[in-house]
Amino acid sequence: QVQLVESGGGLVQAGGSLRLSCAASGSIFSINAMGWYRQAPGKQRELVADITSSGSTNYADSVKGRFTISIDNAKNTVYLQMNSLKPEDTAVYYCFADIGSYSGSYFTDWGQGTQVTVSS
């Protein structure tokens, strides 16, 4: 009943920029937080950044100063601006949202993933 649709991945040279978007739709009463994880081949999924509906942010040390996360609460959309990209940023990026339903329950939903490839 909830969909997260990601966009904005692709291939970029080292030092370049990409902007990821993730829009949540469906039966949503509230969104408490949204964010991004990533998973590189042979590695565990790791948190990249997250943001609460009030705008509090959290970043992985490896992306601080290069990535910026933002949220548009009216559109249920989270953005990840990625600058100064490095080959080690290459991964599948997954969006997530912590959602409050109309029934009062809370759950986390995930996007399908978008590939980011940074060439050296």
pLDDT of residue 1: 86
In this structure, are residues 114 and 5 in contact, taking their beta carbons and an 8 Å threshold?
Answer: no
Residue 16 and residue 90: Cα distance in Å, rounded?
12
User: Does position 112 have pLDDT exceeding 90, yes or no?
Assistant: yes
pLDDT band at 113 (very low <50, low <70, confident <90, very high): very high
Give phi and psi for 46, each to the nearest 5. -130, 150
Helices and strands per DSSP (H, E), number in the chain: 0, 11
Q: What is the pLDDT of residues 61-73, one digit of tens each?
A: 999 999 999 999 9
A 10 A CB-CB count for 5 gives 14
Percent of the chain with pLDDT over 70: 100
Residue 40 and residue 119: Cα distance in Å, rounded?
14
